[in-house]
């Protein structure tokens, strides 16, 4: 297998020689460094690489070149190599053009000239970008391969588990990919045993549960300690932040999730407003960084493990898992966030996983290349989902009950949607049914004011509305509002049941629930801000409060 390619582009021969020298000095063992003296030459080279089937890891291009400019080259490169990292090399005076490029050409980063010393200004950036590329790319013939039926809910569950847990795999749809049949025949896998997961060592898992996959990949599902200072339930942004701070501040910390790290944020294709990431960051990249950081600092992470209950036993808390086991801890952080509520339209339940997906735009988008898909909902998550789907689908229709997206979606997303020609807004409409034989084929839309129904062809429906807190696993003593969101700190005083529930001489700490030592952070909390930064802030704050609680 050829080494992956790292391409540098600049029209100034001296700069090109210098950047090639510095890049080769560090990366030539693992990558082939290719250089080009113009945008056109580089694009030609990228096309040739694609035709040869070579892997392109990264393009670092000057912005100002005669002819094809850096941003144009990087935009074209994205079409051919969607996961290759695209970096712009700019002069200081071009910084505003570079920031623009982040928005328009979806550039991953911009570096400024000069980059001396490269150990400080060039290599950390390239290391980081190449790590991200490696996490997303998978060589054609190696690694995990998942064979299944695109319309089978069980296949979707495994696909979603692998994607969300950042486990690279190759997806082979049995009905369209001839390689899939060859693999199945060779291993004598019958249609009833799908999906089948093929490992590099030749092993096969037939119709596995996510738990079987985790175990086969050598992941531990058992807690290492008999007693923890803090068990964090839910590894979304709030839980991950708490794990980073808990572990770094000396708490024996265990983080658990029933599905994958990252939570709702992990399913986001691009978070544009999280501090410190001017070019935006995908949910999976933010998750990868946060989890690496938490584990490096000493937090233990177990997935997939569902927490089903908590018992308070002489001050200790016993966290009950779905398989009946218990984990003992002195404090708990409930960071289980929110989930989408089932859409009530006829046919939705029967087609879930077979063309109807909750969130999951990043997992399923490639399967709908060239198709006609619908997004239900007008919030930011729907907007991001629609933009991501538009990269693959022929048409993306956003169905909303209101007359516009103005009151429900951030302006930056509305602007991007308006500029995306294959996205169509369908205002004042509601989905009233989904139909099809074995998978989604049609959608029934009803006009909000007249009640008139129309049937349209549809290949998939992505639902982004109706959220509910995931607080059902908490003990009854944890007070909630009418919708099930958890009350914490000062808000508890207003709850009618509070005086009967809280028996301590002190008041609850800021993010403490009505059960001493059980805290809540992020979207699960009543009055939460529903933002990544807010969840991260609350998760981090909890650690200080847990310290206070443990010292009582």
- Where does this chain bind ligand FAD (CB under 6 A)? 233-239, 256-259, 263-265, 267-268, 271-273, 306-307, 335-338, 359, 380-381, 384-385, 470, 473, 522-524, 530-533, 535
Query: d(Cα 61, Cα 80) in Å, to the nearest integer?
Result: 16
Q: How far is the CB of 265 from ligand FAD (least distance, A)?
A: 4
Q: How far is the CB of 341 from ligand FAD (least distance, A)?
A: 13
Q: How far is the CB of 233 from ligand FAD (least distance, A)?
A: 5
Beta-strand ranges (E) seen in 448-503 are 453-457, 460-463, 467-469
Nearer to ligand FAD, 384 or 488 (CB): 384
Nearer to ligand FAD, 69 or 165 (CB): 165
Cα separations (Å) of 140 from 132, 137, 165, 172, 496? 18, 9, 20, 12, 60
Nearer to ligand FAD, 485 or 549 (CB): 485
Cβ partners under 8 Å of residue 266, min gap 6:
164, 236, 260, 283, 284, 286, 287
Nearer to ligand FAD, 355 or 522 (CB): 522
Q: How far is the CB of 26 from ligand FAD (least distance, A)?
A: 33
Bridge-partner residues for 446, per DSSP? 430, 453
Q: How far is the CB of 232 from ligand FAD (least distance, A)?
A: 9
Nearer to ligand FAD, 232 or 445 (CB): 232
Cβ(182)–Cβ(172) below 8 Å: no
Nearer to ligand FAD, 221 or 533 (CB): 533
Cβ partners under 8 Å of residue 74, min gap 6:
59, 61, 86, 88, 101, 105, 106, 107
In this structure, the dihedral spanned by the alpha carbons of residues 303, 304, 309 and 312, taken in order and rounded to 10 degrees, is -20
Reading the block at residue 63, the tokens are: 């912005």
Reading the block at residue 34, the tokens are: 């290719």
Report DSSP letters for 455-523, one per residue. Answer: EEE-SEEEE---EEE--TTS-TTS-B-TTSPBP-GGGGGGSTTHHHH---SSPPPTTB-SSTTEEE-GG
Cβ(408)–Cβ(378) below 8 Å: yes
Cβ partners under 8 Å of residue 296, min gap 6:
none
Reading the block at residue 429, the tokens are: 């409409």
DSSP 8-state secondary structure symbol assigned to residue 53? T
Nearer to ligand FAD, 198 or 473 (CB): 473
Reading the block at residue 79, the tokens are: 């079409």
Cα separations (Å) of 347 from 368, 440, 442? 20, 9, 10
Please classify residue 174 by burial: count the beta carbons closer than 10 Å to its beta carbon, then call 0-12 exposed, 13-18 middle and 19+ buried: buried
Instruction: Please name the helix (run of DSSP H) or strand (run of DSSP E) that holds residue 213, with its range, or none.
Output: helix 210-216
Nearer to ligand FAD, 355 or 359 (CB): 359
Nearer to ligand FAD, 37 or 466 (CB): 466
Q: How far is the CB of 390 from ligand FAD (least distance, A)?
A: 15
Nearer to ligand FAD, 347 or 385 (CB): 385
Q: How far is the CB of 283 from ligand FAD (least distance, A)?
A: 7
Q: How far is the CB of 543 from ligand FAD (least distance, A)?
A: 14
Q: How far is the CB of 410 from ligand FAD (least distance, A)?
A: 8
Q: How far is the CB of 254 from ligand FAD (least distance, A)?
A: 12
């Amino acid at each position: 297998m050829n080494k992956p390619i790292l391409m540098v582009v600049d029209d100034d021969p001296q700069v090109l020689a210098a950047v090639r020298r510095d890049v080769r000095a560090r990366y030539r063992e693992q990558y082939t460094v290719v250089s080009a003296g113009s945008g056109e030459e580089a694009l030609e080279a990228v096309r040739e690489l694609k035709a040869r089937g070579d892997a392109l890891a990264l393009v670092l291009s000057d912005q100002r070149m005669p002819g094809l400019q850096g941003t144009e080259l990087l935009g074209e490169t994205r079409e051919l190599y969607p996961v290759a990292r695209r970096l712009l090399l700019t002069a200081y005076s071009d910084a505003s053009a570079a920031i623009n490029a982040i928005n328009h050409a979806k550039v991953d980063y911009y570096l400024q000239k000069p980059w001396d010393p490269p150990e400080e200004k060039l290599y950390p950036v390239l290391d980081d970008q190449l790590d991200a590329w490696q996490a997303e790319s998978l060589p054609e013939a190696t690694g995990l391969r998942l064979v299944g039926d695109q319309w089978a809910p069980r296949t979707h569950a495994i696909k979603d588990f692998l994607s969300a847990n950042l486990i690279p795999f190759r997806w082979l749809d049995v009905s369209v990919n001839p390689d899939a049949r060859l693999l199945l025949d060779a291993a004598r896998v019958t249609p009833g045993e799908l999906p089948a997961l093929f490992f590099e060592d030749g092993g096969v898992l037939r119709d596995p549960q996510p738990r079987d996959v985790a175990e086969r990949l050598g992941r531990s599902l058992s807690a290492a300690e008999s007693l923890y200072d803090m068990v964090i339930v839910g590894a979304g942004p709030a839980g991950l932040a708490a794990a980073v701070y808990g572990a770094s501040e000396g708490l024996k910390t265990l983080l658990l999730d029933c599905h994958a790290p990252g939570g709702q944020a992990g399913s986001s294709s691009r978070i544009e407003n999280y501090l410190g990431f001017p070019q935006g960051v995908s949910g999976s990249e933010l998750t990868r960084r946060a989890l690496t950081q938490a584990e490096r600092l000493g937090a233990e992470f177990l997935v997939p493990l569902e927490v089903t209950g908590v018992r308070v036993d002489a001050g200790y808390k016993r966290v009950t898992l779905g398989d009946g086991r218990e984990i003992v801890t002195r404090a708990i952080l409930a960071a289980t966030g929110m989930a989408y509520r089932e859409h009530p339209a006829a046919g939705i339940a029967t087609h879930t996983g077979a063309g109807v997906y909750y969130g999951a735009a990043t997992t399923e988008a490639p399967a709908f290349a060239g198709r006609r898909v619908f997004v239900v909902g007008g919030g930011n998550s729907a907007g991001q989902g629609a933009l991501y789907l538009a990269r693959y689908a022929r048409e993306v229709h956003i169905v909303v009950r209101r007359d516009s997206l103005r009151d429900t979606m951030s302006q930056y997303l509305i602007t991007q949607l308006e500029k995306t020609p294959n996205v169509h807004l369908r205002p004042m409409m509601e989905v009233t049914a989904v139909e099809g034989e074995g998978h989604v084929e049609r959608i029934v839309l009803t006009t909000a004011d007249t009640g008139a129904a129309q049937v349209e062809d549809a290949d998939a429906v992505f639902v982004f509305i109706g959220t509910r807190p995931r607080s059902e696993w908490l003990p009854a003593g944890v007070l909630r509002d009418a919708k099930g969101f958890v009350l914490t700190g000062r808000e508890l005083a207003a709850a009618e049941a509070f005086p009967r529930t809280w028996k301590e001489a002190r008041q609850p700490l800021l993010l403490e629930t009505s059960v001493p030592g059980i805290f809540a952070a992020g979207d699960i909390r009543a009055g939460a801000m529903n933002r990544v930064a807010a969840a991260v802030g609350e998760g981090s704050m909890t650690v200080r409060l847990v310290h206070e609680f443990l010292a009582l």
